[in-house]
Amino acid sequence: RETPEEVLKILQLKGAIFDDNPLLQQWFRYTEMYRAKMGNKAFTESQILQVLLDAQPLAKEEQSGKLFESLKEVPDLKNIAGNLQSYLFQKIILVKEESSKSYGDSLMKPYDSWESLLKLPKSGMFIRRSMQKLKK
């Protein structure tokens, strides 16, 4: 079996726009099958995230977080997208030591106001954790 990193190259997703890309969804499905067969440690969430960030060098980590939020709407990708999103946000806030305020401001950029951001569905762990961080 090819590794998910090799499959990403085969699908020619490196440098491609990820938003609403059906091949990216297939890649996530392949990655889940690969991990189920080889074990989660064979291709960790950290590796998945790094492969995705390397494939889109101009994309900011916040954009990846928004991508994961949209992928959580796809039923069979909900778990992996949520896990990756949580991992990414921990990395941004803890490893980069970015303040929760500046991180919250970066999330709000595509929205007109905090009010419009807060009207988004609050079903994901991302929203709960982000809101907890912002309240501190």
Domain ranges of the chain: 4-98
Query: What predicted TM-score, i.e. pTM, was given to this entire model?
Result: 0.68
> What's the rounded mean pLDDT across residues 64-79?
86
Distance between CA atoms of residues 103 and 108, nearest Å? 9
**pLDDT tens, position by position, 86-119:** 888 777 776 665 555 665 666 555 555 555 555 5
State the average pLDDT over residues 33-62: 84
- Closest by CA to 93, choosing from 83, 106, 80, 81, is 106
Q: What is the pLDDT of residues 15-46, one digit of tens each?
A: 776 766 788 899 999 999 999 999 888 899 88
